[in-house]
Structure 1
Amino acid sequence: MKRRAVIRRLAGVIPALWTARYANAASFVESLPLGEQIAKGPFQPSWESLKQYQVPDWFRDAKFGIWAHWGPQCQPEHGDWYARGMYQEGSDAYKYHVQKYGHPSKFGFKDVINEWKAEKWDPDQLLSLYKKAGAQYFVALANHHDNFDNYKSKYQPWNSVNMGPKKDLIGGWAKAARKQGLFFGVSVHAAHAWSWYEPSQMADKNGPLAGVPYDGKIRKEEGKNKWWNGYDAGDLYEQNHPLSEKAENSGSIHKQWEWGAGASVPSKSYCEKFFNRTVDLINRYEPDLIYFDDTVLPLWPVSDAGLRIAAHFYNSSIKKHGKLQAVLNGKILNEEQRKCMVWDIERGQSNNIEPFVWQTDTCIGSWHYDRRVYDNRGYKSARTVIHTLADVVSKNGNLLLSVPVRGDGTIDSAELAVVEGIATWMQQNSEAIFGTRPWKVYGEGPAMEAAAPLSAQGFNEGKGKPFGPEDIRFTTKGDSLYAIVLGTPGDGKVNIKSLAVGNAHYTAAIGRVELLGHGEVKVERGNGGLIVQLPENLPNKDALCLKILPA
């Protein structure tokens, strides 16, 4: 409702109050909690309107981004979904929490937040490193299912400026990313706090504290003389509602992710708070990209909050840039919805060249930092990341790679080695990645024949045949064709079958073939393929990039 209309309505309903106390109508209306408004522009909050969307060229060209999936759940350094698992009696996170902090009826996740100080966080140092590794965009966690905002939030008092680090983390990340010339994105996960935190309503069934409630429904007045005095834990946990069906089953939430199958449906006020928080985030930090960890859009289909956020984000981008530069990621999209935003696949890859640009998001370890991954040497290698990147880009996709950040704001030595390995490869071979487009086929080799299908939002990563030197992925740029060989052949030769004489995919004569990082190499083209003789001293052993030019 526009301001003048509000004024007229109020003047007609309460004239006595109006004349007695609010002679200045404008100041009265400014004091009303009207919430955030959708920016004016061509996009309306409907699927039909959102189909106007066109992926901006910057994202089509970028191909590679790095993500800091970093928040208070990284403080315990004990893996993903900690703030849920710590309330599930007998779980790994619960046992660790009781041993490290105490029982969750006495020391809840709100208290973990108070422990988190991010005292060694240096965003400039990390973003400089990620720039060297070839990242073209950087994404920071604005909030997770734990419902804590990592920025100066107007609508969520449980935020990183008021408590924990007492720093504007998103503001710091944004400044550092833009200093490096990177596009900046935020990931938003808090729409699911309503059901995700439900275990915090429960209590132990066994042991000395059986029946003693966890702190999910602790009252504001109980904070007197505590560190959180004056704050309402209900704003964090959002648990003043009945439990979802089968809430005691830890896996039931996955079947209820789309707010069906017995999920407790969020209240209108909860949905509006989420809308206001997210629009405030957009207005305050002007991200180029928003990643939503939701089926389609946040709170869809029980609320149109996600549609309204999308329309505001797109219209705001046009207002700022004069054209649409915004990227919005959503999961499990149908064909029509993929016209409205960028499809994101979690920990997995498409098995086809997709007609619309898409994105894989994955992590070298656990989403939230887990010290055990470091101790057990469990990170993905730089080689694995490079192979994933080549595969994704050959299919018209981008790779968003999470590098877990410790509670103190640093990455560990093993992670640093992975990022530096990616950087070394990129220095030689980035032209085969950035600004490229898919070829007529995305590749060839044994891994294609054993590709695993997608499951739900993705999760086919590592389930197919491992990549080897017979697996090749193709990209193009101008009149150059790049063949990325995912390994090192034992006999020193590469046979590219898709470039055989008479193959319909490449009918032109081949004039020159270069090995990036080395120079021109000898080739022989026959009916069985293009045979490339590799030099004795290879520029790298992870993925060899051949540049094929026509005569």
Structure 2
Amino acid sequence: MKRRTLIKGALTGLSSLYLSRLAGQGLLDQSHSVAGPFQPNWDSLAQYQVPNWFRDAKFGLWAHWSPQCQPERGDWYARGMYQEGSDQYKYHCEKYGHPSKFGFKDVINEWKAENWNPEELVALYKKAGAKYFVALANHHDNFDLFDSKYQSWNSTKIGPKKDLIGGWAKAAKHQGLPFGVSVHAAHTWSWMETAQRSDKNGPLAGVPYDGKTIKADGAGKWWNGYDPQELYAQNHPLSTNSLDNGMIHKQWNWGNGVTPPSKAYCEKFYNRMVELIDKYEPELMYFDDTALPLWPASDVGLKIAAHLYNSSIKKHRKLRAVINGKILDEQQRKTMVWDIERGQSNQIESFPWQTDTCIGDWHYDRRLYDNNRYKTAKTVIHTLADVVSKNGNLLLNIPVRGDGSIDEKERAVVENIAAWMQINSEAIYSTRPWVTFGEGPAMELAAPLSAQGFNEGKGKPFTSSDIRYTTKGKMLYAIMLGWPADQGALLKKLGATNGIGKINKVNLLGYHDQLVFQQTEAGLKVELPGQAPGKDAFVLKIEGAII
């Protein structure tokens, strides 16, 4: 799913002639368009206002699940299995055979999702405190997980032979949760170029992988009648330095020598996305792109955004839709919700934003289960408190196994989040930032963002001296990211000389007796009970401060 290195040079390598030819020439069938106030340009999209449901939700859960989970060997499998010598290549050869004989299309055929129970999983996620649910609609592998008339390679026809997005959407509706989809397939064009390679060493050196396979090659095979090029989209010249596995990161913004996507490729992506919007009516679309899909090589992303917003207004009589995009400039942050991948902002943001992260790898990796390497509920809760204090939401992926289930260690993490939320959720939902997001030593050593984010876990670990603040109405919440060893808390930002007024009452969520406190020049001193109510993080509910 994700890029792990810095992405630079948004426009480098794309000629202005090519951009103008693609971006404003009426390439698409405008019969799809829904009339409304939003037009497909940045100035018009800047009318956008983030809906209150999203601002109040704060916490969403995500099923980043696709056929790349079937091997249970981690993220970007469909690309890595074609990188000679890589871990995923070696694993693939041992498990399935050489990629010239058993390609990613064949992995899809192995995927059956036989133990998938969306109703049970979404109910569990609601219990854990999720206020919205997001399901992956397609990944960079280009396989649609919904019933698409524009993409034959979809989950209703191949692999599970189920409408996975339809099932997730039904479960979310039944649980009363806004439903979102994540879309990643705009990048198949360059991401799958590894499938055009062949081994440089060994007995099969020079034998092409299946990236150039065509429909006629399917005679007598399981995929007879299907065109692998509709999936791989690799009937085009390789991008500059394509054999360098790291080039995909530098070319993510459709520059630096990437082979420009064809008109047909852009049109097809647009049609698939409009179909996804019209058929499943998502209230959130997460795009794994800089700004919008295919921008600036094409304007189809702008058209998709305008269609989603106008469709939302038509259905709800007001705008409920949310778009998540990455690496946004100042103007673009007015048009959608900025998403930070595996990281957090280091300040209160003026516009609502979102962190997306995962308790493991984005696609299921059995090794993380075997070696007990999942994030703990404590880490998730601390991240949630930090993000919410800065005007953000947290979207958390729970990796799904190939069969459609989650393992018992993941389930335990979800259950522990649920237990914390049962006590402390009022400090999260429907809150807004205070004048400062917090205090404590972790603030001083916070790591800066890099490209999409990727500063997660790089700063100083949180301690009981780290506090995160949220507000709701006349209440101020102080979330302590640990339990003080001396049974006393000191909130320096709430000192008597800080201009916040006289504090009248302090309660500890989950503890029913009154707390003794003293407001001094040094801060608000609170005597805590001998035993903590719960674990991981603890919330003081404060009345009387000027907020």
Give the Cα–Cα distance (whole angstroms) in 1 for the partners of residues 78 and 515 of structure 2.
55
- Residue pair 1:64, 1:399 contacting (<8 A) in 2 also: yes
Give the conservation status (yes or no) of the 8 Å contact 1:436–1:477: yes
Match of 1:238 among 206, 226, 233: 233
- Contact 1:60–1:435 under 8 Å retained in 2: yes
> Aligned partners of 1:354, 1:34: CA distance in 2, in Å?
38
Q: What CA distance in whole angstroms lies between the structure 2 residues aligned with 1:466 and 1:269?
A: 49
Match of 1:140 among 135, 143, 167: 135
Superposed, 1:243-282 pairs within 5 Å as 243-282=238-277
Secondary structure at 2:526 match in 1: strand
2:85 is matched with which residue: 84, 90, 93? 90
Aligned to 1:441: 436
- Which residue of 511, 531, 547 maps to 2:541? 547
What is the number of equivalent residue pairs in this alignment? 517
For the residues of structure 2 that align with 1:343 and 1:488, how far apart are their CA atoms? 33
Q: CA deviation at 1:34?
A: 4.8
The separation in 1 between residues aligned to 2:277 and 2:222, in whole angstroms, is: 30
Question: Residue deviations 1:34-68, cap 9 Å, x none?
Answer: 57622110000000000000000000000000000
- 2:485 aligned with 1:527: no
Q: Give the equivalent residue in structure 2 for 1:395.
A: 390
1:287 is the counterpart of 2:277:
no
Contact map agreement 2:128 2:415 (CA 8 A) in 1: yes
TM-score normalised per structure 2: 0.94
Checking the alignment, whether the CA contact within 8 Å between 2:341 and 2:453 is kept in structure 1 is yes
CA contact (8 A) 1:476 1:482 kept: yes
SS of residue paired to 1:93: helix
Counterpart of 1:548 in structure 2: which amino acid?
A: I
Give the structure with higher Rg (CA): 1
Residue 415, structure 1, aligned to residue 410, structure 2 = yes
CA contact (8 A) 2:496 2:502 kept: no
Structure 2 residue aligned with 1:197: 192
Measured in 2, the distance between the counterparts of 1:511 and 1:210 equals 77
Q: Which residue of 2 aligns with 1:303?
A: 298
Match of 2:467 in 1: 472
Counterpart secondary structure, 1:227 = coil
8 Å CA contact 1:36–1:276 kept in 2: the answer is no
Equivalence map 1:490-529=2 (5 Å): 490-504=485-499, 506=500, 508-519=501-512, 520-529=514-523
Task: State the secondary structure of the residue aligned to 2:426.
Answer: helix
What is the letter of the counterpart of residue 138 of structure 1? Answer: F
Match of 1:103?
A: 98
Distance 1:186 1:549 in 2: 39
**How far apart in 2 are the matches of 1:522 and 1:335?**
46
Q: 1:316 corresponds to which residue?
A: 311
Query: What's the counterpart of residue 165 of structure 1?
Result: 160
What letter corresponds to residue 395 of structure 1 in structure 2?
K
SS in 2 for 1:197: helix
Tell me by how many angstroms 1:524 deviates. Answer: 1.1
Aligned mates of 1:421, 1:34 — CA distance in 2:
49
**Amino acid in the other structure paired with 2:193:** E
SS in 1 for 2:106: helix
| Shift in CA distance, 36/227, structure 1 to aligned 2, threshold 3 Å | farther
Q: Specify the SS of the correspondent of 1:170.
A: helix
Whichever residue aligns with residue 517 of structure 1, its letter is: G
Aligned equivalent of 1:404: 399
Contact 1:394 1:442 in 2 (8 A): yes
The alignment-based identity, stated in percent, is 71
1:351-380 Cα distance to aligned partner (Å, 9 max, x none): 010000000000000000000000010000
Task: Find the aligned partners of 1:180 and 1:35 in 2 and give their Cα distance.
Answer: 35
CA distance in 2, matches of 1:148, 1:471: 44
Residue 228 of structure 1 aligns to which amino acid in structure 2?
Answer: W
Cross-structure match for 1:30:
none
State how far apart, in whole Å, the 2-side matches of 1:378 and 1:287 are.
33
Q: Deviations over 1:488-520 (max 9, x none)?
A: 11111110000011113x2x2111101001133
How far the C-alpha of 1:443 sits from its partner, in A, is 0.2
Matched to 1:518, the amino acid is: Y
The 1-side partners of 2:465 and 2:68 are apart by 41
Instruction: For 1:67 and 1:289, locate their aligned partners in 2 and report how far apart those are by CA, in whole Å.
Output: 12
1:462, distance to aligned residue in structure 2 (A)? 0.4
Match of 1:380 among 372, 375, 380: 375
The answer to whether the Cα contact below 8 Å between 1:66 and 1:130 also exists between their aligned partners in 2 is yes
One-letter amino acid of the structure 1 residue matched with residue 145 of structure 2: N
Structure 1 residue aligned with 2:218: 223
SS in 1 for 2:68: helix
The CA deviation string for residues 250-296 of structure 1, in whole angstroms up to 9 with x for no partner, is 11100000010111110011001000000000000000000000001
Give the partner amino acid of 2:308: F
Describe the shift of the 1:36–1:366 C-alpha distance in structure 2 as closer, same or farther (beyond 3 A): farther
Q: How far off is 1:541 after superposition? A: 2.4
Structure 2 distance, partners of 1:180, 1:111, is 35
Question: What is the distance in 1 between the residues matched to 2:343 and 2:99?
Answer: 35
What does the per-residue CA deviation read over 1:223-272, in whole Å, with 9 as the maximum and x for residues that have no partner? 11111110000000000000011111111100000010111110011001
Partner SS for 1:510: coil
Say whether the 8 Å CA contact 1:35–1:276 is kept in structure 2. no
User: Is there any run of 5+ residues in structure 1 with no aligned partner, and where?
Assistant: 1-32
Is contact 1:294-1:330 (8 Å) kept?
Answer: yes
CA distance in 1, matches of 2:503, 2:520: 12
Structure 1 segments of 4 or more deviating over 6 A? none
What's the TM-score once normalised by structure 1's chain length? 0.93
- SS of structure 1 residue aligned to 2:275: helix
Between the aligned partners of 1:225 and 1:540, the Cα distance in structure 2 is 61
Distance 1:126 1:536 in 2: 37
The reply on whether 1:61 has 2:56 as its aligned counterpart is: yes
Equivalent-residue separation in structure 1 for 2:516 and 2:244 (angstroms): 61
Q: CA RMSD, aligned part only?
A: 0.9
Q: 1:497 to 1:34 in 2, by over 3 A?
A: closer
